[in-house]
Structure formats: C-alpha cells, structure tokens
Amino acid sequence: MEAGLKVTRGRPLEGEGVGLRLLPFVAAGVLAFAFVPLLPGTTEPATLIAAAMVPVLIACALLTPWARLPAWMQAVPVLLVFVMVALVRGALGGTESPYTYTPVVLLPVFWFALYGTRGQLLISVIAVGATFAIPTASIGPATYQAEEPIAALLWMTVAGITGFTVSELVRQREALQEKLGRMARTDALTGLPNRRAWDEELGRELARAERSGAPLCVALLDLDHFKDFNDMHGHQAGDELLKSVALRWRGRLRTVDLIARHGGEEFAVILTTTAISRASEVVERLRASVPHKETVSSGIAEWDRSESGGEVVARADHALYEAKRAGRDRAVLAGGEA
C-alpha cells in the first residue's frame, strides 16, 4: 500500500466464478456435438470420441475446484473444443462435408477474448489453424489437403481480427471501470484517498496487523482556524493550502502508510508497524511542515488489538478534540497528552 491509494488492475480469472463463465461455451458444445453420432456417415471412431467429450466439458465447468487450481488450468476445457472440431472435421471430410463444424472454432477465441490474456488469445488463434492442419495432414485426400490451408488461413484471419477486436473493447471497458473506481476513492482536490477509501484500507490494515502481531496507529490531523484562513485569503488560497499540505505530508510518510482526506480540513493517517511513541514523532514532523506558519492539532491512538476500526478512530477523534480544547497547535495521545 502506498501513501496514496493504489488500485490493482487485472481480470478476475480466479475463483468459483470460472465455472459460470464456461457454461455458455459448454452449452454451445453440447448443441454442436451431442447429435454428432446421429448424422449420416458419422460412425467413425473420431466422431464418437468428440461426442463423448461433451460430458467431459460439462464436468470441467461444474465440478472442477477452480479456486484451488493454477489460473492456466482454466484454458484446458476451452481448448478441448479445438480437439473436438478437428476430430469431427477429419471424419466428415472437412469443407467437403455438408455437416461442417468449422464455425465452432470461434467459440474458444471469443472466450479468451473476454476472459483470457493476449497471449492466450494468440494461442487460440494459432489453434484455429492447427484444427485445420491436423486432420489434413493425417487423413485428408489430395483435394482436401489442397483446399484446407486456404480455409485455415481465412479462418485464422477472421478469428484474429474478431478476437483481438473484442479483447480491445474489453480492455477499454476495464480501463474505464478502473478509472471510475479510482475516482470514487480519490479526493478531487488533493489527490489523496477519500473517506471511503480510508475506511476500506483501515479494515484491511487492521486484519493484516492482527495476523502479523505488529502495532498500528491512527492519527487525525486538523488544520487550526482554517475557516479564518479562508475568510482572510479567499477560498482559492484555502484550496491551495490543502493541496500543499497533502503533497508535503504524503512525501514525509513511508509507502506502507496511508494518508487520506478525512473531510474538510481534516486528514487521517494509518501508520503501520508503528507504536504510539514513534507515531507521535511522525505526527510532529508532519505538523512542523505546514506552510504559511499555519498550525495543526492532532489526535493519535494505537490499536488495542480488540477494538474495531470505528472504535480506534473514535479514540483518535476524542484525542483530537482534547487537543483543540487545550488550545490547539498540539498532538494528544489517546489516554494522555503528548
């Protein structure tokens, strides 16, 4: 975690939701292959094997514990579609057959365009060509071998253009979602995380501190007499002061700490792996760096390892109130004055 909020980008390819994403493609496989043995001239062993792979796809989608498997394993049931198409096309005579299954090769391409990486998508486009080449090289007649490379090149081109276009649209949507998510958690004036982001990060940091046993402190810092500063210098000068304070304070904290605009002229800081004595020193450095000789009041609380995030913030807020009541321009520790 950085002093500002970091949003991690990436497609959600892990977890039990993988099975749900596979289901539409499994359903298409069922429709495409379940009736293969009933078609005229489809008593070849290859077609029967392809039809028998349909329940394998269903089992993969519904029964596999995806959350406990490596991410690359998710591609296996999708790639089985290529094998099924190659078996059926080889047995039926490729493009010569009235029962061509060639368009089915686009299903895995679409899946990787929606949920996979660019590398996986490229592999699926190459697999389209392999789907044509394997039966051609193994069992196709001379005319079949002459025509299939042209068809393979055509389908690879169509798959590549379609797949990468869909992939780019998905990535643009993800980038927009990431931007909107970042905006929803960022204070527009200072560029710091806002109150919503603060609440989320505090919960995560408390959980991490509980696991590690490390101390954690929360500090609230409030600019003294900020309304008077605004009245004297104007709101634009007040905004510039807030931005300057945010920039200076963020630069004086570690990357593992978090500073957020808690509201108005109040800022909140999470100091990880920091006991209250050290937290007091950090807060004093922050208070000393405010421009225009403005002063700051602060309240600091160390998490007692049993209270909630709201409770430790409430203790820091009470300490801040005590600092203001005692005359401002000071830091007060929850439970005693610094």
Question: What integer pLDDT is reported at residue 86 of this predicted model?
Answer: 77
Query: Among 310, 314, 331, which residue's Cα sits nearest to residue 322?
Result: 331
Say if residues 54 and 30 touch (Cβ distance below 8 Å): yes
- Residue that wins the pLDDT comparison between 257 and 23: 257
Percent of the chain's residues with pLDDT above 90:
48
Query: In the structure, what pLDDT confidence band is assigned to residue 35 with cuts at 50, 70 and 90?
Result: low
- Three-state SS letters, 287-321: HHCCHHHCCEEEEEEECCCCCCHHHHHHHHHHHHH
pLDDT at 250 over 60: yes
Among 148, 201, 265, 302, the active-site one is 265
Nearest-angstrom CA–CA distance, 287 and 270: 16
pLDDT at 165 over 60: yes
Q: Which architecture characterizes domain 195-337 according to CATH?
A: 2-Layer Sandwich (3.30)
Q: Which positions ≥6 away from 106 have C-beta within 8 Å?
A: 128, 158, 159, 162
Tell me the domain boundaries of the chain: 17-183, 195-337
Nearest-angstrom CA–CA distance, 103 and 32: 10
Question: What integer pLDDT is reported at residue 174 of this predicted model?
Answer: 87
Nearest-angstrom CA–CA distance, 156 and 130: 10
For residues 26-46, give the mean pLDDT.
60
- Asked if 265 is an active-site residue, the reply is yes
Query: In the structure, what pLDDT confidence band is assigned to residue 81 with cuts at 50, 70 and 90?
Result: confident
71 φ, ψ (degrees, to nearest 5): -60, -35
For residues 288-299, give the mean pLDDT.
93
For residues 151-161, give the mean pLDDT.
88
pLDDT at 144 over 60: no
Q: Which positions ≥6 away from 43 have C-beta within 8 Å?
A: 37
- Mean pLDDT over all residues of the chain? 81
pLDDT tens digits for 259-269?
Answer: 999 989 999 99
Q: Which two tokens stand for residue 201?
A: 């990060």
**Maximum mean pLDDT: which of 46-50, 110-114, 297-301:** 297-301
Question: What integer pLDDT is reported at residue 84 of this predicted model?
Answer: 76
